[in-house]
Amino acid sequence: MLTTESTVPAHRIPELTDLMRTAWWMTDRTPADVHHLLDHSDLVIAVTHDPTDQLVGFARVLTDYAYVALILDVIVAESHRGSGVGAVLLDAVVDHPALTDVRSLELVCQPALIPFYHRWGFTTEVGTSHLMRRTTDPRLTAQPVADH
Q: Dump pLDDT digits (tens) for 35-94.
A: 999 999 999 999 999 999 999 999 999 999 999 999 999 999 999 999 999 999 999 999
Q: What is the pLDDT of residue 148?
A: 47
pLDDT digits (tens, 9 = 90+) for 115-147: 999 999 999 999 998 888 899 988 888 766 554
The pLDDT value recorded for residue 140 is 84
Q: How many CB atoms sit inside 10 A of residue 140's CB?
A: 13
Give the count of alpha carbons within 13 A of 38, CB side only: 21
Distance in angstroms between the alpha carbons of the first and the last residue of the chain: 24
